[in-house]
Amino acid sequence: MKRALFPGSFDPITLGHYDIIKRGIHLFDEVVVAVGINAEKKYMFSLEERQRFIEEAFKDEPKVKIVTYEGLTIDFCKVIKAQFILRGLRNPADFEFEKAIAHTNRKLSKIETVFLLTAARTSYISSSIVRDVIRNNGDYTVLVPDSVKVK
């Protein structure tokens, strides 16, 4: 079984993340979306909310599993027996950052990183932009799956 781990904070999941996951299920037998836990980070949405947004978005997709994790991504890959890390690239800055992480992960383990370019229609969307739109009472709904609801 080809299993890929798609790690992130997903604060919140965006249409860009959604697109990468949807495309990933055509490449892998299973895509495990792993919501990272980082006590040092201030999140807009709780861990439970972030997980629920993703679960609702993919409730009809049996090839997508949603979990939470903390620690090194490569260590978690070993725990769930994922052979691949799936990552999306929006721009050259993403590439440089992700390339360094992928090289480090490859040095420390045998896990390969697979990059997918985001779709042109979602390449400008980031979770930080979505959070800024939400903080300023903008229409965030055009940037995220329908499952993301702000109270």
Pairing mode of beta strands 3-8, 112-117: unpaired
Q: Distance from CA of residue 24 to its chain's centroid?
A: 11
Phi, psi of 110 (to 5 degrees): -100, 10
Catalytic residue among 26, 41, 107, 151: 41
Q: Exposure pattern of 65-97 as b/e (b: 16+ CB <10 Å)?
A: bbeebeeebbebbeeeebebbbbbbbeeebeee
Is 17 an annotated catalytic residue? yes
| Cα 72 from Cα 52, distance rounded (Å) | 23
- E strand or H helix at 78: helix 73-80
Given the residues 90, 99, 106, 131, select the one marked as catalytic: 90
- Could you confirm whether 90 is annotated as catalytic? yes
Give me the active site residues, please: 17, 41, 90, 127
